[in-house]
Amino acid sequence: MFDLPLSAAHPLASYGWDDGFAQSFTPFTGPGVVPGRIVRVDRGRVDAVVADGDGIRTVLADTALVATSDPLRVPCTGDWAAIDLENGRSGDHADGVVRALLPRRTAFVRSTSSKRSEGQVLATNIDHIVICVSLADQLDLGRIERFLALAMSGAGEDAPWHPAAPAAVGGAQPVVVLTKADLAGDPDGLAHLVEDAESAAPGTPVLAVSSETGDGLDVLAAVLTGGTSVLLGQSGAGKSTLANALLGERVQRVQDIRDRDGKGRHTTTTRDLRALPGGGVLIDTPGLRGVGMWDAETGLARTFAEVEALAEECRFHDCAHRTEPGCAVQEAVENGELPARRLESYRKLQRENQRIVAKTDARLRAELRRDWKQKQALGRHLMERKRGAQG
């Protein structure tokens, strides 16, 4: 029952199983131990899909053996695991126990709060991160940039890239989806909104879709076919409705937007992984009220690549891009090459990311404190020179 070939013909291939994961599973091979993909996590237990002959079945497994105080290492929807179905039954109708989690290729991690130094993994081993933004409200370009920075920082730290994985180099491929496109008004207005979103997401696909009319769904479905995709966005972004449309069935409950404030209610309460009819799998997530930065230096550099490129041309290598002479970034803002809004968004996310990283990195914390003191001293010096010149 458990001696199944670990190849592309494996019954779990449609869930993302490939030779790379098969190699990672090799150390755990043994009687009764099978690979499985976690499709749901709930209070110390997980639902996972495992091979069953030529098909698959869902089992309930206990996670006591992999319990940890590190929030970045807890089992998460999307994880591949070694599950013992013969020697790990723990009662209460559990089918087995998770012996180990296989190394993650990618992960989407956020800070649980900008005032805390704790990360939360929302989904793992993902190939596409679908950033859902509702057009029922004013388009928030800063929120798009925030999600993109985190998405582009999501390469797994404990697993190398594998050629079988369709994810973009360095992590999962982000896709910005403007939902509820039927509420955007005329086609010209919708086109302008798409252009605005593209300005905040250079090089990232931006798609406008409507689950109500079906417009754009075929294009999005084609993009997501064959990999693991996760839907992310704030409450009311239309993720559950979009999930139902992509899955071809009503698997997620949908609630209306509150009339009094235009905000959404939490419809999805757990992160669930389900198979897409055209191939691949989809993870739907609860609405996110806050998405704090978490070790997103790489993602910020990629999201704001044009700002980073301009900074290379500044006269001073430690230029803060404010009042320094020879600042190529400020020059680009003044001549209209770089929007001032985008530079401010870059600064805001950089500051937040540095604060979060500094809370867990004593060396960086000392460097930031030293830099702050140097800037204070420079400010006092310039002020004294100004006063002397006026005297």
Write out the DSSP string of 76-122: -TT-EEEEESSS---STT--EEEEEEPPPSBEEEEES-TTS--EEEE
Tell me, what amino acid is at 26? T
Q: What is the dihedral of CA 204, 209, 214, 215, to 10 degrees?
A: -80
C-alpha distances in angstroms, 331 versus 42, 142, 302, 351? Answer: 52, 22, 21, 22
Residue 91 — very low, low, confident or very high, per pLDDT cuts 50/70/90? Answer: low
Residue 320 — very low, low, confident or very high, per pLDDT cuts 50/70/90? Answer: confident
Stronger pLDDT, 369 or 358, i.e. the higher one? 358
Stronger pLDDT, 168 or 345, i.e. the higher one? 345
The residues with which 101 forms a beta bridge, in sequence order, are 81
Spatial contact of 238 and 287, defined as CB atoms under 8 Å apart: no
C-alpha distances in angstroms, 273 versus 115, 159, 234? Answer: 30, 21, 19
Residue given tokens 């996760």 in the structure block: 230
User: What is d(CA 101, CA 250) in angstroms, rounded to the nearest whole number?
Assistant: 31
pLDDT beyond 70 at 141: yes
Average pLDDT on 65-86 reads 94
pLDDT beyond 60 at 365: no
pLDDT beyond 80 at 143: yes
Read off φ and ψ for residue 6, nearest 5 degrees.
-95, 75
Contacts of 53 (CB under 8 A, 6+ apart): 1, 11
Spatial contact of 90 and 62, defined as CB atoms under 8 Å apart: yes
pTM of the model: 0.82
Strands in the chain per DSSP E = 33-42, 45-52, 55-62, 80-84, 96-101, 107-111, 119-124, 128-134, 173-179, 206-208, 228-232, 272-275, 281-284
For residue 157, the model assigns a pLDDT of 45
Q: End-to-end distance of the chain based on CA atoms, in angstroms?
A: 91
Q: What is the DSSP letter of 128?
A: E
Q: What is the dihedral of CA 157, 160, 166, 172, to 10 degrees?
A: 20
pLDDT beyond 70 at 86: yes
Radius of gyration of the chain (CA): 24
Residue given tokens 């609405």 in the structure block: 287
Residue 180 — very low, low, confident or very high, per pLDDT cuts 50/70/90? Answer: very high
Residue 88 — very low, low, confident or very high, per pLDDT cuts 50/70/90? Answer: low
For residue 361, the model assigns a pLDDT of 57
Q: Determine the 3-state secondary structure of 385 from DSSP.
A: helix
